[in-house]
Amino acid sequence: MRLLLFLILIINPLYALDINQSVKSTIENNPKVKIALEKLNESKELIESAYGKKLPSVTGTLSGTYSNSDSQSATDSTTPETFTDKYKLTVSQNLYDGGFNNLEIDRSKILYDNEILYFKNTIQNLVLSAIEGYLLVINYKKSLEANKKNFDSVLQVLEEMKTLYDLGSATLYELQNAESTFAIAQTYLFTAEQNFKISQKTFNRIVGQKPLNLEEVIDFDEEFDLNNIILRTSSNNYDLLILKNDIKNKEILLAKEKQSKLPSLDLSASAEYSDSGRIDNGTEKTDGTIGLTLTIPIFKQNLDNSNIRKYQSQILQSELNYEDYKEDLQIQISNVVKDYNIGKTKMNSNLAIIKANETSLESLKQEYKIGTKTITELVEEEVKLLSAKVDFLNSKKDYLVNYFKLKSLEGSLLNIFEKYLPSIN
């Protein structure tokens, strides 16, 4: 693959902002990245919790009991008071669970792996949005420049037409036609200004920086082999990998439900000390117990069998979703490759049209000076040139955006900006 090249089109590169810096700023400043990181940290606790269930459980209790009772007889009356404090330590440990806890550990790792994929998917979508926003700002900026130039030309034509009309050298129709063209150019200019302003705000919202002095991307030429892209996508596409993990998750849930039918063996041990001699003469007592508990599931209202059938159905659904999305992804890739190649072809054709229109415009200007062409024909040629330039900018943006879309679909977009990714270890 050819490396992407970037060309600085400004005088002072110190304040330039290129695509790499835009992506870096997006990853560092966009709140969606910070939220995704926190979700990733949260999911780590699933693994810790799963491992913790295999460790022994230790509990300690401390209690104090005060008692007072009256006792009367024919010859005597007593009111004994006692205070008993008790200390107890209990340890319990599962000795055999049929592999239930080990399955939960495997499941927690899959869920954590899914969170990593969600995290990468979030960053990838933001990177793609940042690139689209970056290219959109450049596109609207150049479109605005072209519309300003066209507006100035049309305004000059209108002023000349007014002068000619006052001198009687132009008809009312020609003047009205020039005024109509001016109104259209004014509308185009206003639209271009608003599009540029909104694209700047959008860029700032995603990237966290103002789009000042953006570098323009050089045209790159890369041929894509559809079969190779589809092959890489099946192994690297984040959404596809998430669906594959969903199948594994359901399979583990099914295995856990089957394991729940197996017996389990638990060990428990406790030590207890009590003293009731704080107020009156009392006694000290020490107890210790060790016990084994074998639990054998016999009948659970048939809920386990129902859950097994439920998970079997969910596995089948997940497999069908995976295959369905895989087919949709291939169609989506085919369309993006098609649009990429169409954008490339449109760029070349629009460049040829621009060149032809520029030549035609220069020729018309010379003919207009000698009086063989009218001002209306000159204005029409200016509009044609503007339209061709705008078409070129749009086709160039589509061409570049589709390139990065392909990279995102095959799961390799983040590789280009790998050095800017936060650590997730």
Band (383; pLDDT cuts 50, 70, 90) = confident
Of 65, 87, 33, the C-alpha closest to 272 is: 87
For residue 102, the Cα-to-chain-centroid distance in whole angstroms is: 32
pLDDT greater than 70 at residue 220:
no
pLDDT greater than 50 at residue 210:
yes
Is residue 298 classed as helix, strand or coil in its secondary structure?
coil
Band (249; pLDDT cuts 50, 70, 90) = very high
Backbone angles phi, psi at 374, to 5 degrees: -90, 165
Among 143-157, 281-295, 355-369, where is mean pLDDT lowest?
281-295
State the amino acid at position 115 in one-letter form: E
pLDDT tens string 2-49: 333 333 232 233 345 677 788 888 888 888 888 888 888 888 888 888
CA distances from 218 to 2, 8, 34 (A): 13, 9, 32
Whether the model clears a pTM of 0.85, i.e. scores above it, the answer is no
Band (58; pLDDT cuts 50, 70, 90) = confident
pLDDT tens string 353-374: 999 999 998 998 888 888 788 7
Query: Using CA atoms, how far apart are residues 20 and 419, in angstroms rounded to an integer?
Result: 10
Query: Using CA atoms, how far apart are residues 342 and 296, in angstroms rounded to an integer?
Result: 67
Mean pLDDT on 193-222: 75
Of 401, 109, 407, 421, the C-alpha closest to 236 is: 407
Query: Using CA atoms, how far apart are residues 251 and 370, in angstroms rounded to an integer?
Result: 84
Please give the mean pLDDT across all residues of the chain.
Answer: 82
